[in-house]
Structure 1
């Protein structure tokens, strides 16, 4: 993104594992009157969010929504690189993107259905127990972080030795945040700071599993927590209302899916929701 919208481009890239850049939004066109299927715009190789095998948590949320609406589910697969929204949603070949940061200007955002936060991933026996990026314990530590994401500069200021992972990439070729977590498991780095859903998913799948510390007490100027919505075309208020109704009615089911994928969830006050506390606080 350009100018004041750059941080949104960065978080979208981090949430989706790739870089997303669009041109100007296209002019409004009439809203579809009938929707005989749920057509989802998605990346086919972007776990823990989506893949063509249906293994991501956004796949499962899409399945839940299609079942709730009583329509079949179909996908338009495209790598989430430059022009993704323009070449999918705006061409009207699909109707919803399941995961979009609130405020992303090239779509109409629905109600947010989860909130998460960048998290520190460390070995289970690590003595690095911090929940803020300005903690002095980071000084001299070898920490992995995806370049240009919000924690990058702050960790440098804290004195960490940074191992950077490229931000702008095609998920068919590279998976930088996944690689950052795997390098912790291999001992290449002492820890990694990545977007919460990626941290939780890949940390739990290492052998042995890694520890995830959500950075909920951060006192720096880095933007670490985000509200995640679904994205629909501009000028489709009825479709947005339909999805908002689904989110409102099925929030507990959505939270259960997110918990299955070890996603660190925050409530509306920015406090961590513990898995055994139930799902309603995330609304």
Structure 2
């Protein structure tokens, strides 16, 4: 789920599991907040691969595991809006109590100990002749088209490299030429991956959790390369590309946060299995170095 604007480019299987209670945001009874048997999770209804109303998002599945470790049942409070609105329009008004996949340290909320760390990645066809492993790679200059989320750290780096103008019309086509003025427009991760898979883009750039599922589905043709987190803007200011992902609760809800942190430790093996199954290249804590995540099975 995309919560923090730093990423800027912001699913249980089949149907909601029997242990879940699906509830539309408009039907929420705030008085149920004190029910210690339920974990009310703010969730976007249509933000794959993070969160989908049919329960197929990987953050939905992690929420299920977290609730189980807390001895609770999960209750998804669905919103038709993007996750970037979840704090203001769901969490703060008390419609729900937890947001999954929030950048650690987000100043608007209390955040848990991180349950994973991930970075932006380059996406290429395996048969590409271009050797692109960092923003210092000379072969970036040889690209005709680069697919990325407008307004993201990727755009900042593309601008620094002087490649923005040549990609402008192509990027606009990926968003169907919709204006971003006064509205949030999410570039679907499938558009980025699809552009690379079809050869319309020489390379795609995205936050790994957004695209890993779709790269894995095209595993015979595509590859991901973790981008080193050592990049700066033209003025020398750091451009963060790696982020610790945490669970968020309202400020002041230390009791719930303590319970969540304990449950995250208990549920860690199952959470790691979900992330590994998603195909996300996970990073070591506080690092941009990929790590191997052991499977329980």
Structure 1 length-normalised TM:
0.81
Cα distance change, pair 58–217 in 1 and its aligned pair in 2 (3 A):
closer
Which residues of 2 match residues 1-283 of structure 1 at below 5 A? Answer: 8-11=4-7, 13-15=8-10, 34-78=35-79, 79-80=81-82, 83-141=85-143, 142-160=145-163, 161-162=166-167, 163-164=170-171, 169=184, 175-206=187-218, 208-216=220-228, 218-220=230-232, 221-275=238-292, 278=294
Structure 2 unmatched runs, 5+:
11-32, 233-237
Q: What is the count of residue pairs matched by the alignment?
A: 253
**Contact 2:114 2:245 (8 Å CA) reproduced:** yes
Which is worse superposed, 77-86 or 193-202? 77-86
CA distance in 1, matches of 2:103, 2:76: 20
**Contact 1:38 1:71 (8 Å CA) reproduced:** yes
- 1:268 deviates by 1.6
Which is worse superposed, 112-121 or 33-42? 33-42
CA distance in 1, matches of 2:83, 2:58: 20
Deviation string for 1:51-77 (max 9, x for gaps)? Answer: 011111111111111222222221111
Alignment RMSD (CA, Å) = 2.5
**Contact 1:144 1:191 (8 Å CA) reproduced:** yes
Deviation string for 1:221-273 (max 9, x for gaps)? Answer: 42111111111011100100111111122222211110110111100241433
Structure 2 length-normalised TM:
0.77
Structure 1 unmatched runs, 5+:
1-6, 16-31
